[in-house]
Amino acid sequence: MREVAIFIGPNLDADEIKVALNDGDEYGAESTLLFEVAHALLNRHADDRAEIHSVVVDEVTIDPLHPYQVQIEFTTSWSLYIGCRDMDSAGEEQESEIANYTSDGNLVFVVPLPRRPANHC
């Protein structure tokens, strides 16, 4: 397992966290903040060759008993092409992940290490 930290800013409520994660880095662009987390959590393929196209945060919940634990529900759009097998697939996955929200404004996720296929073709 490894940690992935995403800076969103300190003292945000659940709605503000959702907006921060969905806002793009520049005007008119989709957010890429959760791409690394979403890629690590994809479970419909067995390696890291998938390409992430978008990650949309659907809901953010802050645990009132543990305000530094944030549950984030998001939808990942992805595609995978394996040229040696002429295999092309794509889809969407819904994920729910808990992150620690630090006092300095980072969401810290614990995600699996990168996966590699047994046969790279």
- For residue range 63-89, list pLDDT tens digits in order: 899 989 999 999 999 988 877 766 788
Q: Whole-number mean pLDDT of the chain?
A: 86
Beta bridge partners of 88: 81
pLDDT at residue 119, as a whole number:
59
Confidence grade of residue 47 (pLDDT, cut at 50, 70, 90): low
pLDDT at residue 27, as a whole number:
61
C-alpha 28/C-alpha 90 separation (Å) is 24
Outline where the chain has alpha helix (H).
14-22, 35-41
Per the structure block, which two tokens stand in for 66? 């543990």
CB–CB of 55/31 below 8 Å? yes
As a whole number, mean pLDDT of residues 34-53 equals 79
pLDDT at residue 116, as a whole number:
64
The separation between CA 100 and the C-alpha centre of its own chain, rounded to angstroms, equals: 14
Structural domains for the chain: 2-111 (3.10.450)
